[in-house]
Amino acid sequence: MKSVLLGMSGGVDSSVSAILLQEQGYKVYGVTMKLYGGDDEREEACCGLSATSDAKRVCDKLGIPHYTINFEKEFKEQVINKFIDEYQNCRTPNPCIDCNRYLKFGAMYELAKKLGIDYIATGHYAKVEYSEKYQKYVLKKSNSVKKDQTYVLYNIPSDLVEHIVFPLADFESKDEIRRIAKEHGLNVASKPDSQEICFITDNDYVNFLEKHNIQGMKHGKIVDTKGKILGKHQGLHRYTIGQRRGMGISSSTPLYVVKLNKENNQLIVGQEEELYTDTVYVEDTNCILFEKFEEGLEVDAKIRYSAPAKPAIIHVNEDNTLTVKFKEKVRAVTPGQAIAFYIDDILVGGGKIK
């Protein structure tokens, strides 16, 4: 019997994953990673106070061994500190991507190896299949277009793909998942999804950053793309590319944040058409499908989780960064955010937008 170590957040997705893995004949072991603690820890967060108890109750009901592992130190180093550092450098990070690479897949896989367990699994909506075309296991979009999470998985190590199981790959809707949980009498069947960043305890990232006294919080000038002063901003950490409201300036036409100028501490605003570009520069890349990115590779590229993937061509630079040319212009390209590349429904890899 093949064994699998399942990451369990105490939510309905990972709980139903345990049921499905059992039905598929795996010997299942559950693990909950304690990632973020403290007096202000949020109850409903995926790594909050209720996660361990909810996950343990599910495991007890299903007869599954359950482990709780403390990864607070690693989480602070690899996720929280990077999150703060990105904002200090006027970039907008996606901490879930770092957490997936270093904790939910990297550290969990190392733990599985130590325990002699064959596979790791999570409740992500994604799919692993063997591809005859590429002669290897590949990471593919899930059947649920709206729930697909491959965008936040582009950065996992490529050699892990064949060791991962995604039990929810073939489900079309969350209603099906909740129905299975109810049929098995799981208390988490109606538990709401966690939408926010788990370590932002009050859902207020600005408050979190200001508590950590990040640099770049000083007030400065709001200027248009021609250098005309329009007002004062409240600290560049409060703004992101494409933002329209909350700047405290008036104009005869709508103005949007088009750039954060750290060097001059300026918030640069412009017309909506100034948000569009056909060129995106990418660093910190990770290629899953191939050994490396090839010059001229044609892909569909996705610049944010909720954005549709659009046709683009990858150009490889001498320093191994990428220049991505879109066939049509894309809106509000944001430094620090991820870009993910696909061929059909297969995830090729991705990187961070410069």
| Catalytic center residues | 99, 198
Can you list the alpha helix ranges (DSSP code H) found in the chain? 12-23, 49-62, 72-75, 81-88, 95-99, 108-115, 174-183, 205-211
User: Taking a C-beta distance cutoff of 8 angstroms, is the pair 111, 74 a contact?
Assistant: no
Q: CB count, 10 Å around CB of 43?
A: 9
> What phi and psi, each to the nearest 5 degrees, are found at residue 298?
-90, 125
CA distance 329 to 54: 45
Edge-to-edge strands of the sheet including 256-261?
229-233, 220-224, 266-270, 256-261
Please give the structure tokens belonging to residue 255.
């103005």
Torsion of CA 145, 285, 110, 108, to 10 degrees: -30
Composition of the chain by helix, strand, coil, percent to 5: 30, 30, 40
CA distance 75 to 116: 24
Query: What angle do helix axes 174-183 and 12-23 make, rounded to 10 degrees?
Result: 70
Q: Which residue has the tokens 């950065």?
A: 155
CA distance 66 to 7: 10
Please give the structure tokens belonging to residue 328.
């049509």
Q: Which amino acid is at 274?
A: E
